[in-house]
Amino acid sequence: MHSYTEENYLKALFNLANDKGEVSVNELSKRLEIKMPTVNSMMKKLADKKLVFYESYKPLKLTEKGKKEAGLIIRKHRLTEMFLVQKMDFGWEQVHEIAEQIEHLHSPHFFEKMDEMLGYPTIDPHGSPIPDKTGKIDWVHYEKLSDCKAGDTVKLAAVIHTTDDFLKFLNSRELQLGLKIKIKSVEIFDGSMVVAYNKKTAETLSHTVSERLLVEKI
Amino acid sequence: MHSYTEENYLKALFNLANDKGEVSVNELSKRLEIKMPTVNSMMKKLADKKLVFYESYKPLKLTEKGKKEAGLIIRKHRLTEMFLVQKMDFGWEQVHEIAEQIEHLHSPHFFEKMDEMLGYPTIDPHGSPIPDKTGKIDWVHYEKLSDCKAGDTVKLAAVIHTTDDFLKFLNSRELQLGLKIKIKSVEIFDGSMVVAYNKKTAETLSHTVSERLLVEKI
DNA sequence: ATATAAACTTAGACTGTTCTAACAATATTA
DNA sequence: TAATATTGTTAGAACAGTCTAAGTTTATAT
């Protein structure tokens, strides 16, 4: 079993992984707000445990074992978020902090029960995929709203870079998953969009917002 | 804020407190399965934090502040147990271990929501009182079934010293809180009782069992 | 291509929580 | 009450996880 601390390193490595699956010590250090020398020694420890590939001055990479462990923690996190929203009536902007703690609980039975009560969900309240029981993630490719063109009609599938403030902003604009959005126009110079949804006929969304909204074309 | 570890010491001190509120280092050491010197130094630390009265070679005692902190942790534990049983359909023998972990979460909002969903319960699934939001416990005095006499009719109000095995035993005999029990006879030499409840007319309960069952006379 | 900047590593220290070994005080019992 | 057992304390070590300071390697830029 891994410590609370080790679990946080694994999770951060997983979440930071780019297409090559590589993460720098620096990035990890910044994400965790832990100084580089500390991260460095933890990487050696995780390498001993065969969770991370580590060589001096080379980027970090999770091993298959590490990916699985990280996936299982993220599974617990996302299941918890879904439970909090669906069964305890929390808002999607309230659940991250609580899930951050619950994800470290050691009780298979508890998470199985959640999963069952939720009907075995495959996405969390922000549209992120929930890893399966083996820790594997089913990567679905969505487009960014910011990559769509005027005239497109899309369905809001997921939101990324979900800070508290961003989610509250989405609440205030009635933007929620599943929403059908029509793109009326796109400004060239700043990438902002005018869109229509619900009963709104002309809402403006900045590029900062639209690149954090993932959509499905319909 | 106190560490996970400190919280466990506080809780154990609270739970071990006798009528004088005093606990020996030795008892605490055994309860926590932590060696005496470790307990000793932690007591000095908690004394520095004004959570425990500590003097060399004297019994340990929680301060008012310590009692409050401990009460609040036990509140979280018992609310969680109630939530697990009432809202997640766990058996009363399954909830202790999970609550043992969840009690350490730092999220007032989470526990308030549980409390609300449960309708502000005052007892946990084993009949133990849930401390209020200030950490105070409403001590209700129940009698032990083992102290009752033949002919008495009682209602099962709480169970104590609730190990897994004991709770499973109670399940197998259909013994649950609220149950009306008639005492048919009491054996002098071993204190065992023959009782009637539900459709059972002559169940024998050993003294070991009956002294762990708290009842209200009716 | 060399100077500078950024990223990374090593070394060593500190805190929190645990332990064992040894010693001291109190309690029990013969 | 004196010997013995139990309980409690002190001292010192160990480990996990963190830090700062200083040095090394790689990347960037003039």
Q: Tell whether the model's pLDDT for residue B20 goes beyond 90.
A: no
Provide the pLDDT for residue A30. 97
How far, in Å, CA of B91 to CA of B83, rounded?
A: 11
Q: Tell whether the model's pLDDT for residue A28 goes beyond 90.
A: yes
How does the average pLDDT of chain A come out, rounded?
96
How far, in Å, CA of A51 to CA of A66, rounded?
A: 4
Maximum separation of any 2 CA atoms in chain A, in Å: 58
Q: Tell whether the model's pLDDT for residue B19 goes beyond 90.
A: no
- A117 and B90: CB-CB below 8 Å? no
- B109 and A117: CB-CB below 8 Å? no
How far, in Å, CA of A126 to CA of A175, rounded?
A: 12
Q: Is A1 exposed, middle or buried (0-12, 13-18, 19+ CB in 10 A)?
A: exposed
A129 strand-pairing partners:
A123
Provide the pLDDT for residue A20. 87
Q: In this structure, is the CB of residue B45 within 7 Å of any atom belonging to strand D?
A: no
Provide the pLDDT for residue B17. 92
Give yes or no for a contact between A192 and A205, defined as CB atoms under 8 angstroms apart.
yes
Residues of A in contact with B94 (CB under 8 A): 109
In one-letter notation, the amino acid at residue A102 is I
Measure Cα distances from A61 to A5, A42, A49, A64, A131 in Å. Answer: 18, 13, 13, 10, 19
For A58 and D27, how far is CA from C1' in angstroms?
A: 13
Provide the pLDDT for residue B201. 94
Strand C: which residues 26-45 of A lie within 7 A (CB)? 26-27, 29, 36-37, 40-41, 43-44
Q: Tell whether the model's pLDDT for residue B33 goes beyond 90.
A: yes
Return the sign of the alpha-carbon dihedral for residues B120, B123, B124, B130: positive
pLDDT tens digits for range A137-172: 999 999 999 999 999 999 999 999 999 999 999 999
In one-letter notation, the amino acid at residue A198 is N
- A102 and B102: CB-CB below 8 Å? yes
A185 strand-pairing partners:
A194
Produce one character per residue of A175-188: b if its CB has 16 or more CB atoms within 10 Å, e if not: bebebebebeebee
Produce one character per residue of B156-189: b if its CB has 16 or more CB atoms within 10 Å, e if not: bbbbeebeeebbeebeeeebebebebebeebeee
Average pLDDT, stretch B54-74? 97
The model's confidence at residue A19, banded by pLDDT at 50, 70 and 90, is confident
pLDDT tens digits for range A57-89: 999 999 999 999 999 999 999 999 999 999 999
The model's confidence at residue B115, banded by pLDDT at 50, 70 and 90, is very high
Average pLDDT, stretch B49-71? 97
Mutate to test the interface with B, among A98, A116, A164 (most CBs of B within 10 A): A98
Provide the pLDDT for residue A1. 80
Residue A37: how many other CB atoms lie within 10 Å: 10
Q: Which value, to the nearest 10 degrees, does the dihedral of the CA atoms of residues A10, A12, A14, A18 take? A: -140
In one-letter notation, the amino acid at residue A125 is P
Provide the pLDDT for residue A57. 96
DSSP structural state of residue B129: B
E strands, A55-197, are: 60-62, 143-144, 153-159, 180-186, 193-197
The residue lying closest to nucleotide C18, measuring its CA against C1', is: B38
A53 strand-pairing partners:
A61
Query: How would you write A18-66 as a 3-class SS string?
Result: CCCCEECHHHHHHHHCCCHHHHHHHHHHHHHCCCEECCCCCCEEECHHH
Average pLDDT, stretch A83-105? 98
Closest approach of B15 to chain A, Cα-based (Å):
23
Average pLDDT, stretch A195-207? 96
How does the average pLDDT of chain B come out, rounded?
96
Q: Tell whether the model's pLDDT for residue B95 goes beyond 90.
A: yes
For A47 and D21, how far is CA from C1' in angstroms?
A: 26
Q: Which value, to the nearest 10 degrees, does the dihedral of the CA atoms of residues B201, B206, B209, B213 take? A: 50
Q: Tell whether the model's pLDDT for residue B18 goes beyond 90.
A: no
How far, in Å, CA of B209 to CA of B166, rounded?
A: 8
**Chain A residue with minimal CA distance to B104?**
A101
Give yes or no for a contact between A115 and A109, defined as CB atoms under 8 angstroms apart.
no
Q: Tell whether the model's pLDDT for residue A92 goes beyond 90.
A: yes
Provide the pLDDT for residue A48. 96
Provide the pLDDT for residue A209. 97
For B48, the token pair is 């520095």
- A113 and B88: CB-CB below 8 Å? yes
- A102 and B106: CB-CB below 8 Å? no
How far, in Å, CA of B43 to CA of B60, rounded?
A: 8
Give yes or no for a contact between A124 and A78, defined as CB atoms under 8 angstroms apart.
yes
Give yes or no for a contact between A78 and B87, defined as CB atoms under 8 angstroms apart.
no
For A40 and D20, how far is CA from C1' in angstroms?
A: 15
Provide the pLDDT for residue A44. 97
Q: In this structure, is the CB of residue B59 within 7 Å of any atom belonging to strand D?
A: yes
pLDDT tens digits for range B140-174: 999 999 999 999 999 999 999 999 999 999 999 99
Q: Tell whether the model's pLDDT for residue B31 goes beyond 90.
A: yes
Helices and strands (H, E) in chain B, number of each type: 8, 9
In one-letter notation, the amino acid at residue B165 is D
Q: Tell whether the model's pLDDT for residue B40 goes beyond 90.
A: yes
Average pLDDT, stretch B171-197? 96
Q: Tell whether the model's pLDDT for residue A18 goes beyond 90.
A: no
